[in-house]
Structure 1
Amino acid sequence: MIRFLEEYDVERIYEIYKYYIINTSITFEIEVPTLKEFRDRVNTISSIYPFIVYEVDNIVQGYAYATQYMERTACKWSVVSSIYLDELYQNKGVGKRLYKKLIDILKQQNFIMLYALITSANRFSLKFHENFGFTHIATMQNLGYKHGGWYDLSYYSYQLQEIDSTPEEIINITNIKRKIFP
């Protein structure tokens, strides 16, 4: 089941994310944040942007969210997505379902562009985004160093809406939550 993140989910998604920090170069985060730091980060994001979870038997097995691309008003119609799955739920269609729902929500909020920033260590995600319809637009070479190696960062884009001369205002996630999961 896909639903919006609740406060009681934060510890579980923290555990999922912590695995990626410690064991992979998929995220460039090196130091595991404290649970409080992570909770504050999640609460800030989820107060404006969609933050959804995939739950099986009352246990969150993955999550996806979008956040601000850049702190400039002119860029407010563009967001960056992130998705993390429990390692046992990879390659089972969970990511695709989460992304479909995330994209649907972002469209309802009037966002125009969705970006994914993917490290070269995450070959599965590069392919996943290409298959999902994202377009590779740039690669920053040797951007991050982690676990003894240098990694590129690839930028992918996905157009959510037609581009008009004057975009509609962004609708805060709290104003549309009930419409999405009644």
Structure 2
Amino acid sequence: MTNPPIIRNARSEDSTQIAEIYAHHVHNGTASFDTEPRSIEATVAKIAECAKRGWPFLICADGQVILGYAYATQFRDRPAYGLACEDSIYVHPDNVGKGVGKLLLVALVDAAEAAGFRQMLAVIGGGEPASVALHASLGFEHVGRMRSVGRKFGRWLDSVYMQRALGAGGSQPPEKEPG
């Protein structure tokens, strides 16, 4: 990294680099249970959908180079889940282990709270130890494990669920109920 990285909202022109980062993780890792990478067009649509709904989609960049990205979307599509989000974080393979994921997750937690979410869930594909450790370092607690729910690279994969409250969490009702 030549300069301190910046965190900013993703833009459509970031979609090529974002899609490349995701493709690497789809082809080489178990964090995503996708077996085919998202297209550039689908990435543009994902960024636009997050913006339209007021959900954060962030990138960490060093100049014009995207080091990683993160976004939060509603946990499930039913109205009662409207205050719970799921995080997604992917770091360029050249930057894994350099603190990019932590920078992104700290910013994403703040942005998701500002967007009105009260709970954030991490659904960690393959139970990736580095992702579990990252989330635990920021106050996420282990809330479950679904065993052998995915199959990729010839092996069965678990999903680990971790959760943390945002803002008031569940201690008080929202000003406006979802739905």
Q: Same fold (TM over 0.5)?
A: yes
Partner in structure 2 of residue 167 of structure 1: 174
The counterpart of 2:20, out of the listed 15, 19, 24, is: 15
Q: Which moved more, 1:95-104 or 1:76-85?
A: 95-104
Residue 45 of structure 1 deviates from its aligned partner by 2.4
Matches within 5 A, 1:101-180: 101-120=107-126, 122-162=128-168, 163-169=170-176
Residue 144 of structure 1 deviates from its aligned partner by 0.2
Partner in structure 2 of residue 66 of structure 1: 72
Q: Report percent identity of matched pairs.
A: 29
Q: Which runs of 4+ in 1 moved over 6 A?
A: none
Residue 169 of structure 1 deviates from its aligned partner by 4.1
User: TM-score when scaled to structure 2?
Assistant: 0.89
What's the CA shift string for 1:59-78, capped at 9, x where partnerless?
11101110011111111000
Distance 1:165 1:57, change over 3 A: closer
User: TM-score when scaled to structure 1?
Assistant: 0.87
* Alpha-carbon contact 1:85-1:95 (below 8 Å) kept: yes
Q: How many Å separate the matches in 2 of 1:57 and 1:109?
A: 27
Does 2:75 correspond to 1:81?
no
Residue 98 of structure 1 deviates from its aligned partner by 1.1
* Residues matched between the structures, number: 170
Residue 33 of structure 1 deviates from its aligned partner by 3.0
SS at match of 1:98: helix
Partner in structure 2 of residue 38 of structure 1: 43
In structure 2, runs of 5+ residues without a counterpart are 1-5
In structure 1, runs of 5+ residues without a counterpart are 171-182
* Alpha-carbon contact 1:110-1:169 (below 8 Å) kept: no
* Alpha-carbon contact 2:135-2:162 (below 8 Å) kept: yes
Q: Which amino acid aligns with 1:146?
A: K
